Structure 1
Amino acid sequence: MSNQGGISLKSDSKSLKSDLKRLGDFKRKVTAVFTQLDLPISIYAATSRDRFRKPRTGMWEQLLEDFNLTAAHQVDLDTSFFVGDAGGRTGHSSGGVSKDHSCCDRDFATNVGIKFLTPEEYFLEEEPKPFVREFDPAKYINNATSVVFSKQNPLDVILFCGSPGAGKSTFYWNYLKPLGYERINQDILKTRERCLKKAAELIKEETPVVVDNTNPDPDTRAHWVKLARNLDVPIRCIHFTASLRLCEHNDAVRSLNETMNPEKRTMLPRLAFTGFASRYREPKLEEGFQDITKVDFMFQGTAEEETIWRKFWI
């Protein structure tokens, strides 16, 4: 089971010739290995950022379906194992041992529920080496302080600041919609100008507004501070503090699980998160806000949804 993101299977790709060459090279290498081993063997290669890419379990689920092993009792997980070189090993320069490029193989095995071994542990019977996980979702379960948010003004603007995947829209639906706030979102309205116009119309209709965009820096937020000042209403800020990796995880969970994706959002490119991080400046009262409320990410969902969320997705 191999992640092969460098191979594209899209026939409309602009680099079709080089894509076909990479695919051909990969097939030739695989054929050579299979011939040398002369064993019953199957290969699954994930070429996209979808549910098949490790540490996600799509390839495992496909294997079970292909071999008619979908009943829980048909696979002996306790004696099964997965060997991979992406084990999150830290490495050390003194011994000439390089750091693993990721922990996705170890995380994949954990998701499946089988033992993980590095090649050195399995083939050479070496002792396990130290490893670290860059991101472990389990650490974020029940690890945030509940936020009590109350309405302070008859009419105002609430400005969100936070990365994609930080939980902004969920916070709106759970806490602000019931208070009578209407949501302004640039993904829906497409341009800031349309968002500003719609917000002004709602305020003039005596309807409080939530601006559900990322608003990463003072220059972006200044447009909304100016609008509130011109309309003579207070503006408050809700600051979502979730880290880049946590937001990437949330985005993957949301986009790859229909039951947890009511708005049918597709997975965002990594640039959406790194772009926010590069522009991000923590909001300050001096920008013109009445107050700033910090919101740490807190998972909310059913026991079944929590089981899904606890898995490794990135």
Structure 2
Amino acid sequence: MGDKAPSLKRPHTQDRAVSPPPVKRRQTSTTTPKAVAEFFKPSSQKAQEPEKIGWTIVQESLLIGTYQASTATPLAESHGPRRLAIFDLDGTLITPASGNKFGRDASDWKWWNSGVPTTLRELHEKGYLVAIVSNQSGINLNSKAADKAPKTDNKRLETFKSKATAILSQLDLPISIYAATAKDEFRKPRPGMWRQLLDSNDLGGPGKVDMAKSFFVGDAGGRPATSGSKKKDFSCSDRDFAANIGIPFFTPEEYFLGEEPKPFVRDFDPTEYLGQGAGATTDAVSQFSEKKNPVDVVLFCGSPGAGKSSFFWRHLKPLGYERVNQDTLKTRDRCLKVAAEHLAEGVSVVVDNTNADAETRAHWVKLAQKHKVPIRCVLFTAPAKLCEHNDAVRALSASEQLNPEQRSMLPKLAFTSFVSRFRQPTKDEGFQELVEVDFVFEGDDAARETWGQFWIS
């Protein structure tokens, strides 16, 4: 038989000198009643950690998010001009993780290239002020229209804020993001976001920014499609934005990957119209250097923004013509009535409307025939892109010289509608003569500089 297994029973001793089992010690709780109450609170009532990104709104259209970094070294104080590194957001710093053209939600994004975060941190460490500027459509910041705005507008706003917070949190750098939500002076290529960036960082005024060493990176560079899989850029607005500011421009491929610059094209370049001298076409102006008839009707025909009103004020108002304009009088019948009153008093009339088709022009031919006065037609030949540019400069430049009538910006439909309705006028419609006027910029040096910038994408 083998040895017996040892007993687990406490051995018996005569003196019973065995220590008693240990007494259970009471653990002192560190949980306070306040902590317990906080634990059972609904999430909506719990104390929230302070947001790392603060949001402000400028003129109810520009959204600015400023991130408070927790670990990054503060931007060193500069003793000379500040260098700025500015980036577009979508298609430049990030791209949809899903592969879709647009992100599905706030989490549908990834870095455009794995080296993007490192590059931005290196720029910060070198003393660059890093900022993001982005056009963001579909977000409504107008407080007066907030109640009437579609729910999708509010959702897009929250989605954008959540996405921006996630992006900046990963970088953990003191970066501000500027989002232009309306088609106003802040929308690229217009330089409004640049001016606000300078103002926010106390960099306004000469000599405060090193323009040569600052730069802007964006994917809207006007590059055409290639024989490979590369699609054409949707616009040239990022390149034009940098040109308006006067700083170097790079595409993401050039800046992050070191690729050579690719060819690009612009659909419209206003500088092409600045080398044609001052004033309207010489032949056209000579037609209106003096009155051709004692009393007559001059009918304008041309797109919004083609220069019709400016031509009236410079060349026909001094000759005693009265202007009839449907933007002011609201209806064609009202315009016809006012024009008839002037003609009855022996006063010549300019009809400053688009008058795109023969049917519309026929109303004015009949009016002139009724009052037994000649009618002349002035055709303004400016193409649609030039007219859109003129309209944007007029409405957004804050120049009294360029917008003496304080007109608001027109929707794109105003220009496309004219193009679809336009029929070339002919003398056979009943005109004494037909004069064509090509647009040429008129204005002083300050107005010329403003007009020569890029205002449309």
With normalisation by structure 1, the TM-score equals: 0.97
After TM superposition, give the deviation of residue 258 of structure 1 in Å.
Answer: 3.4
Answering whether residue 446 of structure 2 is matched by residue 311 of structure 1, we say no
Aligned residues of 1:87 and 1:131 also touching (Cα < 8 A): yes
With normalisation by structure 2, the TM-score equals: 0.67
Aligned residues of 1:149 and 1:175 also touching (Cα < 8 A): no
The separation in 2 between residues aligned to 1:120 and 1:264, in whole angstroms, is 42
Answering whether residue 175 of structure 2 is matched by residue 41 of structure 1, we say yes
Secondary structure of residue in 2 paired with 1:201: helix
Residue of structure 2 in register with 1:160 after alignment: 300
State which drifts further: 261-270 or 75-84: 261-270
Superimposed CA distance per residue, residues 69-115 of structure 1 (whole angstroms, 9 cap, x where no aligned partner): 012101000000100000011122x2110111110000000000000
Answering whether residue 260 of structure 2 is matched by residue 127 of structure 1, we say yes
Residue of structure 1 in register with 2:427 after alignment: 285
The separation in 2 between residues aligned to 1:97 and 1:25, in whole angstroms, is 29
Residue of structure 2 in register with 1:5 after alignment: 137
Aligned residues of 1:142 and 1:299 also touching (Cα < 8 A): no
Residue of structure 2 in register with 1:22 after alignment: 156
Map 1:102-141; keep pairs closer than 5 Å: 102-141=235-274
Residue of structure 2 in register with 1:78 after alignment: 212
After TM superposition, give the deviation of residue 262 of structure 1 in Å.
Answer: 1.2
Residue of structure 1 in register with 2:5 after alignment: none
Residue of structure 2 in register with 1:97 after alignment: 230
After TM superposition, give the deviation of residue 186 of structure 1 in Å.
Answer: 0.7
Residue of structure 1 in register with 2:437 after alignment: 295
Runs of 4+ in 1 over 6 A off after TM superposition: none
Aligned residues of 2:216 and 2:247 also touching (Cα < 8 A): yes
Task: Decide which structure has greater helix share.
Answer: 1
After TM superposition, give the deviation of residue 16 of structure 1 in Å.
Answer: 3.5
Alignment size in residue pairs: 313
The separation in 2 between residues aligned to 1:244 and 1:291, in whole angstroms, is 25
The separation in 1 between residues aligned to 2:216 and 2:195, in whole angstroms, is 15
After TM superposition, give the deviation of residue 123 of structure 1 in Å.
Answer: 0.2
Residue of structure 2 in register with 1:258 after alignment: 399
The separation in 1 between residues aligned to 2:166 and 2:438, in whole angstroms, is 51
Residue of structure 1 in register with 2:323 after alignment: 183
Higher relative contact order (CA 8 A, sep 6+): 1
The separation in 2 between residues aligned to 1:132 and 1:145, in whole angstroms, is 28
After TM superposition, give the deviation of residue 68 of structure 1 in Å.
Answer: 0.4
Q: Which runs of 5 or more structure 1 residues have no equivalent in the other structure?
A: none
Superimposed CA distance per residue, residues 151-203 of structure 1 (whole angstroms, 9 cap, x where no aligned partner): 22111100000011111011001000111111111111111111111111111
Secondary structure of residue in 2 paired with 1:220: helix
Secondary structure of residue in 2 paired with 1:74: coil
The separation in 2 between residues aligned to 1:312 and 1:149, in whole angstroms, is 33
Answering whether residue 307 of structure 2 is matched by residue 174 of structure 1, we say no
After TM superposition, give the deviation of residue 142 of structure 1 in Å.
Answer: 3.3
Answering whether residue 187 of structure 2 is matched by residue 53 of structure 1, we say yes
The separation in 2 between residues aligned to 1:40 and 1:202, in whole angstroms, is 65
Percent of paired sites with the same residue = 63
Instruction: Indicate the RMSD between aligned Cα atoms, in angstroms.
Output: 1.1
Q: Which runs of 5 or more structure 2 residues have no equivalent in the other structure?
A: 1-132
| Greater Rg over alpha carbons, structure | 2
Matched to 2:389, the amino acid is H
The separation in 2 between residues aligned to 1:145 and 1:120, in whole angstroms, is 44
Aligned residues of 2:300 and 2:354 also touching (Cα < 8 A): yes
Secondary structure of residue in 2 paired with 1:43: strand
